Protein backbone atom coordinates (compact mmCIF):
# COMPACT_ATOMS: atom_id res chain seq x y z
CA UNK A 1 0.00 0.00 0.00
CA UNK A 2 2.85 2.40 0.82
CA UNK A 3 4.43 1.82 -2.59
CA UNK A 4 1.13 2.62 -4.31
CA UNK A 5 0.70 5.84 -2.32
CA UNK A 6 4.28 6.92 -3.13
CA UNK A 7 3.75 6.23 -6.85
CA UNK A 8 0.43 8.10 -6.97
CA UNK A 9 1.92 11.05 -5.03
CA UNK A 10 4.85 11.05 -7.45
CA UNK A 11 2.57 11.11 -10.50
CA UNK A 12 0.52 13.98 -9.09
CA UNK A 13 3.63 15.92 -7.99
CA UNK A 14 5.42 15.54 -11.33
CA UNK A 15 2.33 16.71 -13.22
CA UNK A 16 1.51 19.53 -10.78
CA UNK A 17 5.05 20.93 -10.81
CA UNK A 18 5.10 20.91 -14.61
CA UNK A 19 8.04 18.53 -14.82
CA UNK A 20 6.07 16.40 -17.26
CA UNK A 21 2.61 16.29 -18.75
CA UNK A 22 -0.08 14.39 -16.88
CA UNK A 23 -0.22 11.78 -19.64
CA UNK A 24 3.49 10.97 -19.40
CA UNK A 25 3.41 11.03 -15.61
CA UNK A 26 0.40 8.69 -15.50
CA UNK A 27 1.99 6.25 -17.95
CA UNK A 28 5.19 6.28 -15.89
CA UNK A 29 3.06 5.60 -12.81
CA UNK A 30 1.46 2.58 -14.50
CA UNK A 31 4.89 1.26 -15.49
CA UNK A 32 6.12 1.79 -11.91
CA UNK A 33 3.07 -0.08 -10.53
CA UNK A 34 3.78 -3.04 -12.80
CA UNK A 35 7.54 -2.94 -12.14
CA UNK A 36 7.04 -2.96 -8.37
CA UNK A 37 4.47 -5.76 -8.53
CA UNK A 38 1.53 -3.65 -7.36
CA UNK A 39 -0.29 -4.52 -10.59
CA UNK A 40 -0.05 -7.48 -12.92
CA UNK A 41 0.07 -6.79 -16.67
CA UNK A 42 -3.20 -8.69 -17.11
CA UNK A 43 -4.89 -6.34 -14.63
CA UNK A 44 -3.65 -3.33 -16.58
CA UNK A 45 -4.87 -4.80 -19.87
CA UNK A 46 -8.25 -5.67 -18.34
CA UNK A 47 -8.69 -2.14 -16.97
CA UNK A 48 -8.49 -0.56 -20.43
CA UNK A 49 -11.91 0.22 -21.85
CA UNK A 50 -11.33 -0.83 -25.45
CA UNK A 51 -14.70 0.53 -26.60
CA UNK A 52 -13.49 4.03 -25.72
CA UNK A 53 -10.18 3.46 -27.52
CA UNK A 54 -11.92 2.38 -30.72
CA UNK A 55 -14.49 5.17 -30.40
CA UNK A 56 -11.68 7.73 -30.27
CA UNK A 57 -9.91 6.05 -33.16
CA UNK A 58 -13.02 6.59 -35.27
CA UNK A 59 -13.87 10.12 -34.17
CA UNK A 60 -10.46 11.79 -34.32
CA UNK A 61 -10.34 11.42 -38.13
CA UNK A 62 -13.85 12.90 -38.30
CA UNK A 63 -12.68 16.03 -36.49
CA UNK A 64 -9.61 16.29 -38.69
CA UNK A 65 -11.79 15.91 -41.79
CA UNK A 66 -14.12 18.70 -40.62
CA UNK A 67 -11.17 21.03 -40.20
CA UNK A 68 -9.34 20.15 -43.43
CA UNK A 69 -12.34 20.01 -45.75
CA UNK A 70 -13.70 23.31 -44.50
CA UNK A 71 -16.92 21.82 -43.12
CA UNK A 72 -16.66 23.84 -39.91
CA UNK A 73 -15.85 27.00 -41.83
CA UNK A 74 -18.85 26.39 -44.11
CA UNK A 75 -21.17 26.20 -41.10
CA UNK A 76 -19.78 29.45 -39.79
CA UNK A 77 -20.07 31.16 -43.18
CA UNK A 78 -23.77 30.24 -43.31
CA UNK A 79 -24.17 31.99 -39.99
CA UNK A 80 -22.32 35.09 -41.21
CA UNK A 81 -24.55 35.49 -44.26
CA UNK A 82 -27.73 35.33 -42.17
CA UNK A 83 -26.49 37.31 -39.15
CA UNK A 84 -27.61 40.75 -40.33
CA UNK A 85 -31.30 39.85 -40.13
CA UNK A 86 -31.10 38.80 -36.46
CA UNK A 87 -30.68 40.80 -33.24
CA UNK A 88 -27.06 40.80 -32.00
CA UNK A 89 -27.95 38.88 -28.82
CA UNK A 90 -29.47 36.07 -30.90
CA UNK A 91 -26.39 35.98 -33.13
CA UNK A 92 -24.22 35.78 -30.01
CA UNK A 93 -26.26 32.78 -28.84
CA UNK A 94 -25.94 31.13 -32.25
CA UNK A 95 -22.15 31.60 -32.20
CA UNK A 96 -22.11 30.04 -28.74
CA UNK A 97 -24.21 27.08 -29.89
CA UNK A 98 -22.19 26.60 -33.10
CA UNK A 99 -18.96 26.54 -31.10
CA UNK A 100 -20.43 24.03 -28.66
CA UNK A 101 -21.52 21.79 -31.55
CA UNK A 102 -18.16 21.93 -33.29
CA UNK A 103 -16.40 21.21 -29.98
CA UNK A 104 -18.19 17.86 -29.97
CA UNK A 105 -16.19 16.61 -32.96
CA UNK A 106 -12.95 18.60 -32.80
CA UNK A 107 -10.95 19.51 -29.72
CA UNK A 108 -11.93 22.57 -27.74
CA UNK A 109 -8.66 24.25 -28.73
CA UNK A 110 -9.34 23.60 -32.42
CA UNK A 111 -12.88 24.95 -32.17
CA UNK A 112 -11.61 28.17 -30.60
CA UNK A 113 -8.96 28.58 -33.29
CA UNK A 114 -11.54 27.89 -35.99
CA UNK A 115 -14.36 30.06 -34.71
CA UNK A 116 -12.65 32.98 -33.01
CA UNK A 117 -11.82 34.86 -36.23
CA UNK A 118 -15.28 34.08 -37.59
CA UNK A 119 -16.98 35.33 -34.42
CA UNK A 120 -15.01 38.57 -34.48
CA UNK A 121 -15.82 39.03 -38.16
CA UNK A 122 -19.53 38.45 -37.51
CA UNK A 123 -19.46 40.96 -34.62
CA UNK A 124 -17.80 43.59 -36.78
CA UNK A 125 -20.22 43.05 -39.68
CA UNK A 126 -23.28 43.53 -37.47
CA UNK A 127 -21.75 46.33 -35.40
CA UNK A 128 -21.63 44.35 -32.15
CA UNK A 129 -19.08 44.12 -29.34
CA UNK A 130 -16.35 41.77 -30.64
CA UNK A 131 -15.16 41.00 -27.09
CA UNK A 132 -18.59 39.58 -26.24
CA UNK A 133 -18.31 37.21 -29.21
CA UNK A 134 -14.80 36.17 -28.16
CA UNK A 135 -16.15 35.34 -24.71
CA UNK A 136 -19.01 33.31 -26.19
CA UNK A 137 -16.58 31.21 -28.23
CA UNK A 138 -14.20 30.59 -25.33
CA UNK A 139 -16.99 29.67 -22.91
CA UNK A 140 -18.76 27.42 -25.42
CA UNK A 141 -15.58 25.55 -26.29
CA UNK A 142 -15.54 24.19 -22.74
CA UNK A 143 -19.10 22.87 -22.75
CA UNK A 144 -19.00 19.66 -24.74
CA UNK A 145 -21.88 17.67 -23.29
CA UNK A 146 -23.77 16.18 -26.24
CA UNK A 147 -21.55 13.13 -26.71
CA UNK A 148 -19.06 11.07 -24.72
CA UNK A 149 -16.36 12.01 -27.21
CA UNK A 150 -16.76 15.74 -26.73
CA UNK A 151 -14.46 15.97 -23.73
CA UNK A 152 -11.98 13.76 -21.91
CA UNK A 153 -13.98 13.52 -18.68
CA UNK A 154 -17.02 12.36 -20.63
CA UNK A 155 -14.92 9.48 -21.93
CA UNK A 156 -13.61 8.69 -18.46
CA UNK A 157 -17.10 7.98 -17.15
CA UNK A 158 -18.56 6.53 -20.35
CA UNK A 159 -17.33 2.96 -19.97
CA UNK A 160 -17.14 2.53 -16.18
CA UNK A 161 -20.51 4.21 -15.67
CA UNK A 162 -22.23 1.89 -18.12
CA UNK A 163 -23.64 4.82 -20.09
CA UNK A 164 -24.95 4.66 -23.63
CA UNK A 165 -24.07 7.19 -26.30
CA UNK A 166 -27.64 8.52 -26.24
CA UNK A 167 -27.51 9.15 -22.47
CA UNK A 168 -25.12 12.03 -23.05
CA UNK A 169 -27.36 13.63 -25.66
CA UNK A 170 -30.48 13.19 -23.57
CA UNK A 171 -29.01 15.00 -20.56
CA UNK A 172 -26.47 17.15 -22.39
CA UNK A 173 -28.84 18.69 -24.93
CA UNK A 174 -31.08 20.34 -22.34
CA UNK A 175 -28.08 21.37 -20.27
CA UNK A 176 -26.38 22.82 -23.35
CA UNK A 177 -29.48 24.84 -24.28
CA UNK A 178 -29.73 26.13 -20.71
CA UNK A 179 -26.04 27.12 -20.72
CA UNK A 180 -26.44 28.79 -24.10
CA UNK A 181 -29.27 30.97 -22.80
CA UNK A 182 -27.67 31.77 -19.43
CA UNK A 183 -24.20 32.45 -20.82
CA UNK A 184 -25.48 34.56 -23.71
CA UNK A 185 -27.65 36.65 -21.42
CA UNK A 186 -24.82 36.91 -18.88
CA UNK A 187 -22.38 38.14 -21.52
CA UNK A 188 -25.01 40.61 -22.71
CA UNK A 189 -25.58 41.95 -19.17
CA UNK A 190 -21.94 42.14 -18.03
CA UNK A 191 -20.09 43.05 -21.24
CA UNK A 192 -22.81 44.25 -23.59
CA UNK A 193 -23.49 43.11 -27.12
C-alpha to C-alpha distance for 192 and 61, rounded to whole angstroms: 38
126 with 163, same domain? Answer: yes
Please report the pLDDT score of residue 76 as a whole number: 65
103 with 67, same domain? Answer: yes
Domain count, the chain: 2
100 with 72, same domain? Answer: yes
Model pLDDT for residues 24-36, shown as the tens digit of each residue: 998 899 999 999 9
35 with 65, same domain? Answer: no
71 with 161, same domain? Answer: yes
Cβ(95)–Cβ(79) below 8 Å: yes
Average pLDDT, rounded, for the chain: 83
**Whole-prediction pTM value?**
0.64
In a domain, 31, yes or no: yes
C-alpha to C-alpha distance for 116 and 135, rounded to whole angstroms: 9
In a domain, 56, yes or no: no
Give residue 35's domain range: 1-48
151 with 98, same domain? Answer: yes
Q: What is residue 18's DSSP assignment?
A: T
15 with 43, same domain? Answer: yes
86 with 177, same domain? Answer: yes
Model pLDDT for residues 99-158, shown as the tens digit of each residue: 888 888 777 777 777 788 888 888 887 888 999 999 999 999 888 888 777 776 777 777
Amino acid sequence: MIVVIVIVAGVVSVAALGVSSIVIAALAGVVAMVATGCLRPTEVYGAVDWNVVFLLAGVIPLGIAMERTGGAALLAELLVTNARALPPLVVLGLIYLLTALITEVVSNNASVVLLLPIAVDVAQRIGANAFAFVLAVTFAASTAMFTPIGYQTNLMVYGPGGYKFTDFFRVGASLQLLLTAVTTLGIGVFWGV
